[in-house]
Amino acid sequence: MGFCEIVDCLEVCLGSVLRLLCIVGRLCSTLCNRSRKCFQTAHFYVEDSDSPRVIPTVPLTAISDEELEGIPVSQFPKHMESLHVDGQRGFGREFEEIQQYAQSQSLLAEETNRPDNKNKNRYVNIMAFDHTRVKLRRLGRERKGSDYINANFVDGYNAPRAYIATQGPLKATFADFWRMVWEHDVRIIIMITNLVEKGRVSGFDFPLRTIFKCCSLRSLF
């Protein structure tokens, strides 16, 4: 094979590689844009001096048992479409309804409101309820509050407490987050919030720019 033929082959190969990279880049861009389609709702930031420190009292509307009935699987796609209408406001509306219902049930969150735990909460109106909160192992007998993290167990389809819902780690909760991952043998971590909400950077303390799947930490040792 002559020199010119080798050059021609290299040009063809490089052209194919560049086209493939362009296709992959477009796919990644499309997936990223879709993954960012999540609802935004009003939160009160603990570290924001402009945000109110106390949740304003608003009249709660009782939710009837009929409104709490499940949605048939056959109608679920249509229900999801309705939530996406008008800037995806339906998601925020449902979230607020759930919050109102939780407040109307007088669910206890004493550990969340303890003075030594308040700096571990990203928002003052997102609580870890006492009956579902994730408990960490205490660090010594005198370390009160060392078992606290703003996280709740969530029932799965086939098993209770199959999932954990938690906030993005703060500087004060970075170690607690990874303690929870270790102690509860968390195998998959999924981020479902935006890095920037309403023009404000969320301030997570570990790289979450990529949604990642990790193996069990216990299997590494």
Q: Is residue 61 situated within a structural domain? A: yes
- What are the distances in angstroms from CA 167 to CA 111, 173, 177? 16, 10, 9
Distance CA 220, CA 181 (A): 13
Q: Is residue 5 situated within a structural domain? A: no
Q: Give tens-digit pLDDT for 87-139.
A: 888 888 888 888 787 777 778 899 999 999 999 999 888 889 999 999 999 88
> What does the pLDDT average to over 192-213?
62
pLDDT value for 2: 56
Instruction: Give the helix ranges, DSSP H, for 125-173.
Output: none
Q: Give tens-digit pLDDT for 25-70.
A: 676 666 555 544 433 344 444 444 444 444 444 444 555 555 566 7
Q: Is residue 166 situated within a structural domain? A: yes
Q: Is residue 197 situated within a structural domain? A: yes
* Most confident region among 8-12, 196-200, 212-216 by mean pLDDT: 196-200
Higher pLDDT, 53 or 76: 76
> What does the pLDDT average to over 64-91?
82
- Write the DSSP assignment of 68-98 as a string of letters: GSPPPGGGHHHHHHHHHHHHHHHHHHHHHHH
Higher pLDDT, 87 or 13: 87
Q: Is residue 80 situated within a structural domain? A: yes
pLDDT value for 24: 66
- Local structure of 182: helix, strand or coil: helix
Q: Is residue 103 situated within a structural domain? A: yes
Q: Is residue 9 situated within a structural domain? A: no
- What are the distances in angstroms from CA 105 to CA 91, 99, 125? 21, 10, 15
Task: Please name every residue paired with 187 in a beta bridge, in sequence order, or none if there are none.
Answer: none
> What does the pLDDT average to over 75-84?
91
Lowest mean per-residue pLDDT among 38-42, 96-100, 162-166, 193-197: 38-42
Contact 55, 44 (CB under 8 A): yes
- For 160, the domain range is 35-220
What is the number of structural domains in the chain? 1
Distance CA 38, CA 198 (A): 12
Q: Is residue 23 situated within a structural domain? A: no
Q: Categorize the per-residue pLDDT at 148 as very low, low, confident or very high, splitting at 50, 70 and 90.
A: very high
Q: Give tens-digit pLDDT for 173-188.
A: 989 999 999 999 999 9
pLDDT value for 205: 54
Contact 95, 41 (CB under 8 A): yes
Residues with Cβ < 8 Å from 26, sequence gap 6 or more? none
Q: Categorize the per-residue pLDDT at 166 as very low, low, confident or very high, splitting at 50, 70 and 90.
A: very high
Q: Give tens-digit pLDDT for 204-221.
A: 655 554 444 444 444 443
